[in-house]
């Protein structure tokens, strides 16, 4: 209960960027929990490498995920694990002509017909792809 009240006090003092980093903290904590759960099920003594996939539309910054992973994994089987992050670019489908494309920075209109997007096909991924253990 002390932790929750401390977080609430801290959150009142943070700006928008800091709040975003706290979101990355909780996401990294969840990723680490998945890693540790599977490592323990496999009776692993040490996690050597974690391969993570992150979509560009998530907005997560690799360096922040790495920082929080290093911080949170201290004293666990994953403490010395390498973290490899593969980025997935955004992909969408045009509502009018059904063309699939990767939107340009700040321009989500179809490059073929100028139409709006119908569906996001890629870029929202966030998962542990594989874990190397010993």
Are 53 and 125 in contact by the 8 Å Cβ rule? The answer is yes
Q: How far apart are CA 93 and CA 84, in angstroms?
A: 29
Q: What is the pLDDT of residues 61-106, one digit of tens each?
A: 999 999 999 999 999 999 999 999 999 999 999 999 999 999 988 8
Query: Going from the N-terminus, what domains does the chain have, and what CATH number goes with each?
Result: 2-133 (3.30.2320.80)
Q: How far apart are CA 13 and CA 26, in angstroms?
A: 18
Give this prediction's pTM. 0.78
Q: What is the pLDDT of residues 43-60, one digit of tens each?
A: 999 999 999 999 999 999
Pairing of strands 47-55, 82-88: parallel
């Amino acid at each position: 209960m002390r932790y929750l009240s401390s977080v609430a006090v801290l959150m009142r003092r943070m700006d928008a960027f800091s709040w975003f980093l706290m979101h990355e903290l909780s996401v990294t904590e969840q990723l680490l929990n998945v890693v540790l759960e599977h490592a323990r099920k496999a009776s692993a003594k040490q996690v050597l490498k974690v391969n993570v996939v992150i979509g560009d539309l998530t907005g997560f910054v690799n360096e922040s995920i790495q920082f929080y992973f290093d911080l949170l994994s201290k004293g666990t089987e994953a403490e010395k694990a390498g973290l490899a992050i593969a980025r997935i670019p955004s992909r969408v489908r045009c509502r009018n002509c059904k063309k699939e494309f990767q939107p340009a920075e700040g321009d989500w209109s179809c490059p073929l017909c100028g139409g709006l997007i119908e569906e996001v096909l890629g870029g929202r991924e966030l998962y542990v792809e594989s874990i190397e253990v010993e």
